[in-house]
Amino acid sequence: MTTRTQWIHGPLTDAVLAWLWLPIFVVVHLAEGHGDLVPALMAIGFVISFAHQPLTMGLVYGDPVQYRHHRRLYLVTPVVLAVLVTVGMFWSLTAVAIVAALWNAEHTLMQRYGLTRIYGRKVGDDLGRIEKPMYISWLVFALLWLPSFVNLPKMADNLGFGARNKRGLEVLYDLRGPARALLVVGAVVAVVFTVRWLLAQRRLAPAQRSAPKYLYVGATFGLVLAIMVDPAAGFVSYISAHALEYFVIVDASLRKRAATGDPVAVIRAVQTRRRRAVVYTSYLAAMVAVSVVTIGWFDGQFYAWLVLFFGGLHVFYDGFVWKLRRPGTAASLGIPATVGVPPTQAPAPAVG
């Protein structure tokens, strides 16, 4: 029987978060062919994705303990990234957008890997060295599949993509020759790692076989398949589910820290249910307002700059914020810092 301690939030919440991408995928998929409905849903997905990115800034600059760990890095990074994004946009916005999309695709998958490791840590398994390359191999195979078998420019026309987004897909579609050549290799690598993981699971002691973890890994595999079946619906569900899951992770972490009497200002701001409601509602309203107001500035260039800037900081900073080997971070996510971690194990993964 699966004990409650094997879950992160609880059976129902964990199951919903694991498969949250599915109803989003179904809604977008059914909307295809109905005029401007899919572009509207994609716009909502982009706003949801954009809204979760600055949350990391609060976790960094609103937490003096976290800030002291990498003070110089946190002071220099925004300036360097602002320059890089600005120069990159003048040089080639298409190239920058492709790099950012691939980086975010990997980052989103690593959030799922991080949560997979939390489930593993809760039962004391040490399969991270198999699970990370397995997840990456799944994503690489899906990315190779898209230009190999999907007419991306035609899909962009059907979905009403703008010239900038369409150009990015055209660049990927031009690589269909090499993609097809690498697809077989990608399939072999993915199968090898998946089989290794299944065999490793069989070798675990019965107490280490985690049903919550199996549920989450299965949902991740389904999400990757969804991207291959319907790239547009898969993409929207991929980024939206990631952002919504991140909101829940941050909320759960802050609530657990607040329950321990953590004096940090960002914790005090959300210490009660009423405060959390006010803070979260105000934050989401502000993010929606920023998106609506700035999306038309300079032909969308300023909004694109904001997305790339905050997205870059979010991806980079999360690697420092959610280190499970830190006792405080581990405790805020419901796991002892040393559970299932042999002395020689490499640093635990970041979540986010």
pLDDT of residue 104: 85
Please give the average per-residue pLDDT across 23-49, as a whole number: 88
pLDDT digits (tens, 9 = 90+) for 242-287: 999 999 998 888 888 877 777 776 777 777 888 888 888 999 999 9
pLDDT of residue 191: 97
Please give the average per-residue pLDDT across 136-164, as a whole number: 81
Using alpha carbons, list the distances in angstroms from residue 73 to 38, 48, 69, 236, 266.
40, 27, 9, 32, 20
- Report if residue 142 sits inside a domain: yes
Q: What phi and psi values does residue 323 have, to the nearest 5 degrees?
A: -80, 115
DSSP character at residue 208:
G
pLDDT of residue 64: 84
pLDDT of residue 194: 97
- Report if residue 2 sits inside a domain: no
* 300 torsion bin: left (phi>0), alpha (psi -120 to 50), beta (else): left
Q: How many helices (H) and strands (E) does the chain have?
A: 16, 0
- Report if residue 241 sits inside a domain: yes
- Report if residue 170 sits inside a domain: yes
pLDDT digits (tens, 9 = 90+) for 176-231: 888 899 999 999 999 999 999 999 999 999 989 999 999 999 999 999 999 999 98
pLDDT of residue 349: 45
Confidence tier at 351 by pLDDT (50, 70, 90): low
- Report if residue 338 sits inside a domain: no
Q: Is the pLDDT of residue 125 over 60?
A: yes
**CB-neighbour burial class of residue 57 (10 A; exposed 0-12, middle 13-18, buried 19+):** middle
Domain count, the chain: 1
pLDDT of residue 160: 63
User: Is residue 209 within 8 Å of residue 201, measured between CB atoms?
Assistant: yes
Q: Is the pLDDT of residue 151 over 70?
A: yes
pLDDT digits (tens, 9 = 90+) for 79-108: 999 999 999 888 877 777 778 888 888 899
Instruction: Considering only CA atoms, give the Rg of the chain.
Output: 21
Q: Is the pLDDT of residue 348 over 70?
A: no
Q: Is the pLDDT of residue 238 over 90?
A: yes
pLDDT of residue 4: 67
**What's CA 44's distance to the chain center, in Å?**
17
Confidence tier at 1 by pLDDT (50, 70, 90): low
pLDDT of residue 239: 93
- Report if residue 111 sits inside a domain: yes
% of the chain surpassing 70 pLDDT: 91
**What does the alpha-carbon distance between residue 39 and residue 32 come to, in Å, rounded to a whole number?**
9
CB atoms within 10 A of CB 177: 10
Q: Is the pLDDT of residue 144 over 50?
A: yes
* 350 torsion bin: left (phi>0), alpha (psi -120 to 50), beta (else): beta
Query: Chain-wide mean pLDDT for the chain?
Result: 85
- Report if residue 298 sits inside a domain: yes
Q: Which domain holds residue 160?
A: 7-332
- Report if residue 274 sits inside a domain: yes
Q: Where are the alpha helices (DSSP H) in the chain?
A: 11-18, 21-31, 37-52, 55-61, 64-69, 71-123, 128-149, 152-158, 163-173, 176-203, 211-229, 231-259, 265-268, 273-294, 301-321, 327-332
Confidence tier at 46 by pLDDT (50, 70, 90): confident
Confidence tier at 337 by pLDDT (50, 70, 90): low
pLDDT of residue 352: 54
pLDDT of residue 213: 96
pLDDT of residue 30: 93
pLDDT of residue 68: 86
**What does the alpha-carbon distance between residue 335 and residue 6 come to, in Å, rounded to a whole number?**
10
Q: Is the pLDDT of residue 135 over 90?
A: yes
Q: Which of 125-129, 168-172, 176-180 shows the lowest per-residue confidence on average (mean pLDDT)?
A: 168-172
Query: Position 66: which residue type?
Result: Q
pLDDT of residue 322: 83
